[in-house]
Structure 1
Amino acid sequence: MGSFFKRKKQDKKKKQQTKDEDFSIQIGKNLDKNMENIKKMLEQPNDLIIRKFSIRNTNHKGAIVCIDGLIDTAEVDNDILLRIQGVTERKELPHNTKQMFEVIYQEMISVSDIQKGKTLDDVTNAILYGSAVFYLDGIDEVLIMDTKGWESRSIEEPITEPVIRGPREGFVENVRTNMVLIRRYIRDPNLRFKTRKVGRRSKKVLVVTYMEGITHPDLLKEINRRLDTIDMDDAPESGFIEQWIEDSFLSPFPQVMNTERPDKVAMGLLEGKVAIILDGTPMVLILPFNIGDALQTPEDYYERWAIGSLLRALRYLAAFIAMFVPALYIALVSFHQGMIPSKLAFSIAATREGVPFPAFVEAMLMAVTMELLREAGARLPRTIGQTIGIVGGLVIGDAAVQAGIVSPVMVIVVALTAIASFSLPAYSVAISFRLIRFGFMIAAAFFGLYGIILAYIMVNIHIVNLKSIGVPYSAPFAPSFFSDWKDLVFRAPIQVLTKRPQYLKPTDQKSGNKGENGS
């Protein structure tokens, strides 16, 4: 059996190698044969355009190959076909095929982005990405012209990250547009965009963005090393990239930040971080990522330092409530009633009279119901989803209390927990905290406050050992970088924030203001 599977694997590898060799066939000199190769490769799709023509006053024949719907038709007609077929200031055209090809390349075609290709691989990748390819009979090269012109979504306000104060521009699905949005925030010649392809079949464009002279070279090298290991047919969304390059797939905590906001990406780049832009998605990745980044927003810097500090402190409080309050309720009611003030204990006991379930089952029922309502509200159309979330919560909560299934105090605890989780700015972090909350509830049901403390110690051990692209996830708490604490739980005045985060080891440590769009 082992030898059978080994042979199957070898046969599969040989077939893949043969296919790769066929896919990288050199372009021939015969125009008709080249057209047949294209048709055979793509199996003559209905949207394949092959326009053969003769060049005026010569015996040369050429062809334009492209995909309908992916190109800007006006650009192909006016800047390529019209100029090659007869509209040119040049009176005499060379009869030598090689010279004719160079004249078309250098003088006739007025497309800004044009390059040469020599293999069938170059041609198919180009036309499937919206380029037009020019063939000249008798030449074993082609001209690949960027003529992309498909429909795309216009720039609008970010959907997943509501903007309170600041620019209301959000990333879109077009990688070029997203690159332009970043350039509008950082007008620095040291801003770098390094393009690569991911996906064996989709060949999506992925752009690694960083600030040369700020980002540490080792960090950039490690990110590129991990991107080089990506081996998948397609990466339809940046979440695939995030999961592939993260340090620990078993951790409940996200190790890569995702955002729709260009200003957030610009701030990260100026700190010394790296951004990854994937074509086809508005979610841009920022890395490395730590626990402090999870509770920060750009609005912290757009408002005065006292207001920004207060809002950030409230988020830390919200994170505590989202994780611990249901577990504390279970522990106090089930094991440590003596720690509850007498009047409050009598009030809780009165409300729980007639409830048939212990505190743990009661809390789990309400927590799971709240998660179901939240998921239903997210999947339904926006107007209906908001109604379901509000009305459903009120109706189910009131009905559960009237039926004696849960106590009113439990409804208050779950509602407070839900509100606190909504206060967390990063959606992926909020989900992680909601997941960990169930672990704390189970620990509280078995061991009370001791269980909560043990679970908390375990979470801290995990966070301290977790890394994001090799950078400690718990930095700058541990390892401690005291100079970074002035922009952690509280934010110091903007005049004091004159250095970049030290835990990133930026090559240029001195910076301007944190909220400044420039280096």
Structure 2
Amino acid sequence: MNDINLKNKINEILKNIGNRHAVVKFFIVGKVKPINAAIVYLEGLTEKNIIDRDVLSPLMLRVDEDLSLVVNLPEYLCEKYISMSNTIVEKDINKVIYFVKRGCTVIVLSNSSQFILIDTSSWMRRAIDEPPNEVAIRGSREGFTENLESNLSMIKRKIKDKNLSIEKYLVGSRGQTDLAIVYIEDIINKDVLNEIKKRIKAIDADSVLATGVLEQFIEDYTYSPFPQSFGTERPDIIAAALLEGRAAIVLDGTPYVITYPSTMIDFFQTVEDYYERTLISSFVRIIRFTAVTLVYTLPSLYLALIKFNSELIPIKFVIPIVQSRRGIALTPFMEILSMLFVIELLRESGLRLPSRISQTVSVVGGFIIGNAALQAKLVSPATLLIVGITAVCSFSIPNYEMAQSVRIIAIPVLILANIFGVLGVTIGWYFIVLHLFSIDSFGVPYLNLNNKGDFKDIFLRYPLWKMNKRPASISTNNPVRQKNFRKIFRRSKNE
């Protein structure tokens, strides 16, 4: 085929998508005054059967008329011969390249400056399944996948509001990963939204392959141990976050969706808190916050009491502790530190091993190491008990990233307790609280206890019908989320 104009268009497309991955098929459209044409697509991203059946076959075999007189040939071909609904006529070659890289097939006509784009994308996708790390008894059984459009469709099914907005971006100069910012137009704070957009547009890197990479690029406090974005694999949690006035960032290639702004309280709440009854949810939340306090405090307080302030321990506990420590080779500080280190090793090995054997390795490994340490007089039973309780308490933190942060911060508090005793524990808590109050997430305080209305959904979970307003700590354009409809039918005004 010697059509120079057609070849120049093809070469321009190939130059931007890479010759080694592209497939080019030249053909002729029509039998009366035929027109030279070609299709271009990427191998492995398209369904060839669709191309052969719905694109090439009708254009090569069924066009019997003179097409030279048709004014807008691409539109005419789409309307009469291409039996597919998802077709686009595009003039901008940059947009053509964008869609071809995502599985579309482009038809190039020699006598037209426009291109026909057809969605023929097809590749292996993971089925929608329950998130393995966020199981809910009464919640939905669906979780996000690695496909952007699939994830956005799940959010759309949860929120059918006309104000639900989705803005798409490309991040990474080489990876060119699709990213979507999802928010509700009349609820979200525009200053927060604009700041999120500004930071995403400013990213200048080769690739952004996961939301964990993205959040490190746009966060404020790099050296803070606390996560500054809340992430989840559950569409119902993202829908609830959007309705509170937050923005969700969905990245193609990862099932983990993050939300901004985020506060510390978000990491200690679960979706089942709102699906269960008030008393049950409040009780579970008290357990969680108690567990976090114990993770921070129990090892360091135990160390401070037996090393510096043994007079504060009741006498009936002193004698068993002293007797259990006879002949122990390690100091109390090294006992606790070594056992915490062993638990972290077991936890890490359990994560990296196949799921079928990871639990066995963790349980058996912990039992063997603990028993051997006791028999060898390396640690005392009391120390092993304290460290075991601390490990169990850390498992009650629902968010994995926050659980990691809490466990890491407990070690500096332990060191302070080894140096200053109970005063060191107090100093550690002081700096933790000071740090939590000093950081923010896109202008929203990370820990804000100044809003009285927010206490309905922090340490306790009030009845849902009493939470008529969105969280005050997250400034929104529409603070009211529901009306006081219970007054219509409730039995008592004092309920």
TM-score of the aligned structures, taking structure 1 as reference length: 0.89
Alpha-carbon distance in 2 for matches of 1:513, 1:384:
51
2:477 counterpart residue number:
507
Partner-residue secondary structure (3-state), 2:27: strand
Specify whether residues 260 and 43 from structure 1 end up closer, same or farther in structure 2 by C-alpha distance, changes over 3 A only. closer
Q: CA deviation at 1:83?
A: 2.9
Q: Residue 24 of structure 2: which of 35, 42, 50 is its match? A: 50
8 Å contact kept, 1:97–1:139: no
1:426 counterpart residue number:
399
8 Å contact kept, 1:60–1:97: no
Deviations 1:322-357 (A, max 9, x none): 221111111111111011111111111111111122
Q: Is residue 488 from structure 1 mapped to residue 458 from structure 2 by the alignment? A: yes
Specify whether residues 93 and 101 from structure 1 end up closer, same or farther in structure 2 by C-alpha distance, changes over 3 A only. farther
Q: Residue 159 of structure 2: which of 172, 186, 189 is its match? A: 186
8 Å contact kept, 2:286–2:460: yes
Q: Is residue 78 from structure 1 mapped to residue 91 from structure 2 by the alignment? A: no
Q: Residue 216 of structure 1: which of 189, 192, 197 is its match? A: 189
8 Å contact kept, 1:97–1:138: no
Where structure 2 has 5 or more consecutive residues not aligned to the other structure, the ranges are 485-495
Deviations 1:215-239 (A, max 9, x none): 1111111111111111111111111
1:357 counterpart residue number:
330
**Aligned 1:55-70 pairs, distance under 5 A:** 55-57=29-31, 58-70=33-45
Q: Residue 374 of structure 2: which of 401, 409, 426 is its match? A: 401
Aligned pair count reads: 481
8 Å contact kept, 2:40–2:107: yes
8 Å contact kept, 1:332–1:340: yes
Specify whether residues 498 and 332 from structure 1 end up closer, same or farther in structure 2 by C-alpha distance, changes over 3 A only. same
2:291 counterpart residue number:
318
Q: Is residue 254 from structure 1 mapped to residue 227 from structure 2 by the alignment? A: yes
Q: CA deviation at 1:248?
A: 0.6
Q: Comparing 138-147 with 398-407, which one deviates more in the overlay? A: 138-147
8 Å contact kept, 1:330–1:444: yes
**Aligned 1:86-97 pairs, distance under 5 A:** 86-87=61-62, 92-96=65-69
Q: CA deviation at 1:41?
A: 4.9
8 Å contact kept, 1:200–1:231: yes
CA RMSD of aligned residues (A): 1.9
8 Å contact kept, 1:247–1:470: no
Alpha-carbon distance in 1 for matches of 2:13, 2:65:
32
1:25 counterpart residue number:
none
8 Å contact kept, 2:136–2:271: no
- 1:69 is matched by which residue type in structure 2? G
Q: Percent identity?
A: 37
Q: CA deviation at 1:157?
A: 0.7
Alpha-carbon distance in 2 for matches of 1:193, 1:513:
27
- 1:465 is matched by which residue type in structure 2? S
Deviations 1:366-393 (A, max 9, x none): 0001000100000000011111111101
Alpha-carbon distance in 1 for matches of 2:123, 2:373:
52
Q: Is residue 329 from structure 1 mapped to residue 302 from structure 2 by the alignment? A: yes
Q: Is residue 290 from structure 1 mapped to residue 256 from structure 2 by the alignment? A: no
Q: Is residue 391 from structure 1 mapped to residue 364 from structure 2 by the alignment? A: yes
Specify whether residues 513 and 377 from structure 1 end up closer, same or farther in structure 2 by C-alpha distance, changes over 3 A only. farther
2:487 counterpart residue number:
none
Alpha-carbon distance in 1 for matches of 2:66, 2:401:
62
Q: Residue 10 of structure 2: which of 35, 43, 48 is its match? A: 35
Q: CA deviation at 1:187?
A: 1.6
**Aligned 1:155-234 pairs, distance under 5 A:** 155-234=128-207
- 1:49 is matched by which residue type in structure 2? V
Alpha-carbon distance in 2 for matches of 1:189, 1:420:
43
Alpha-carbon distance in 2 for matches of 1:358, 1:459:
26
8 Å contact kept, 1:321–1:417: yes
**Aligned 1:361-380 pairs, distance under 5 A:** 361-380=334-353
8 Å contact kept, 1:129–1:148: yes
TM-score of the aligned structures, taking structure 2 as reference length: 0.93
- 1:198 is matched by which residue type in structure 2? V
Partner-residue secondary structure (3-state), 1:292: helix
Q: CA deviation at 1:43?
A: 5.2
Alpha-carbon distance in 1 for matches of 2:469, 2:190:
19
8 Å contact kept, 1:98–1:139: no
- 2:462 is matched by which residue type in structure 1? A
**Aligned 1:464-475 pairs, distance under 5 A:** 464-475=437-448
- 2:186 is matched by which residue type in structure 1? G
Deviations 1:18-37 (A, max 9, x none): xxxxxxxxxx9711233344
Alpha-carbon distance in 1 for matches of 2:420, 2:55:
76
- 1:230 is matched by which residue type in structure 2? I
2:319 counterpart residue number:
346
2:385 counterpart residue number:
412
Alpha-carbon distance in 1 for matches of 2:166, 2:87:
19
Q: CA deviation at 1:513?
A: 8.9
Q: Comparing 287-296 with 31-40, which one deviates more in the overlay? A: 31-40
- 1:51 is matched by which residue type in structure 2? K
Q: CA deviation at 1:73?
A: 2.4
8 Å contact kept, 2:74–2:115: no
Where structure 1 has 5 or more consecutive residues not aligned to the other structure, the ranges are 1-27, 515-519
